Amino acid sequence: MIVFACPGQGSQTPGFLTPWLELDGVADDLAAYSDAAEVDLIQHGTVSDADTIRDTRIAQPLIVAASLIAGKALRDQVGRDPDGIAGHSVGELAALVGAGVVSAVEAMRLVGIRGRAMADAAAATPTGMSAVVGGDEEAVLALLAELGLTPANYNGGGQIVAAGALPALAALADAPVRGSRVIPLQVAGAFHTAYMAPAVEALRAAVADVAPADPRIPLWTNKDGSVLTDGATALANLVSQVSSPVRWDLCMASFAEHGITGLVELTPAGALTGLAKRGLRGVPAVAVKGPEDLAAAVALLQNGEVA
């Protein structure tokens, strides 16, 4: 079982879409996606600087569009879907497209709304996120509770992302749990917490008229790591997940239970393959950072091993 993994916010880098524009049809797809998301994806994916593409309004559509481009390129080359798909945070929108639940243009419309709504919610109160790597998990969770922080992402592999007020995050960094290290993340707010409640309502209104199809391949949810068979449930989870923790640890555990034999992380890649090295030991993984990585991903899809 080869699973596609669609990354979340924070994985984008300046100019990362530039090489993809050399592939046939990508410029046209990005133009359509830009119209749907109300974001100039070609501009921001090629020449905008790191500070610009850190803006949630821009970052989220960029990330989803990149995963859609890479996923389409891989399916075109191997002539089939992967055996399953999942997305981390905003990557769930790309995963829904890959599973046939919504169209690519519909997903880009929704991610544009999601990004704007989450940016507005983040602007209301200064908040942030920090990754806590290592340390005893119970001790980490106890310290977060003591500081009034929320475990927003359970990423597996010994990583939990804390979210909340900036002074509390500073206190966490100053006195972390023994054996852990705290890494501030380049995001604009406390995503996947109660701070995002206004964004939940905005996205719920946006999906009201969407008619989702049922997934045609196994689709994992960040809610609890389960496999979804109902498109309406997948869409509802996508909405509520904006203010709920990301359980990527449970997704990886479920991958293992279903017999995963390889993982392909779509563009912009790197973070989820890194987590897989610790949480899915021995499972081959390919990070498709650019078109030059497509050959290795195709080899994994066709032969079950990395070229």
* DSSP 8-state code for residue 229: -
Whether 304 has a pLDDT exceeding 80, the answer reads no
CA pair distance 133, 181, nearest whole angstrom: 5
Report pTM: 0.94
Whether 139 has a pLDDT exceeding 90, the answer reads yes
Whether 213 has a pLDDT exceeding 80, the answer reads yes
Sorted by sequence, the CB contacts under 8 Å of residue 14 that are 6+ apart come out as 48, 49, 50, 53
What's the mean pLDDT in 144-171?
96
Class of domain 125-184 as given by CATH: alpha beta
* CATH-assigned architecture of domain 2-123+193-303: 3-Layer(aba) Sandwich (3.40)
Domain boundaries, the chain: 2-123+193-303, 125-184
Whether 34 has a pLDDT exceeding 90, the answer reads yes
* pLDDT given at position 188: 82
Name the active-site residue from 89, 130, 180, 244: 89
* pLDDT given at position 9: 86
* pLDDT given at position 142: 97
Answer yes or no: same fold for 2-123+193-303 and 125-184: no
Single-letter amino acid, residue 264: V
* pLDDT given at position 306: 67
Single-letter amino acid, residue 145: A
44 catalytically annotated: no
Residue-wise pLDDT for 69-85, tens only, equals 999 999 999 999 999 99
89 catalytically annotated: yes
Pair 196, 213: CB distance under 8 Å:
no
- 303 or 294, which is more confident: 294
* pLDDT given at position 189: 92
What's the mean pLDDT in 126-150?
96
Confidence category of residue 67, pLDDT binned at 50, 70, 90: very high
CA pair distance 292, 136, nearest whole angstrom: 39
> Residues 46, 48, 49, 55: is their CA dihedral positive or negative?
negative
Name the active-site residue from 44, 192, 244, 254: 192
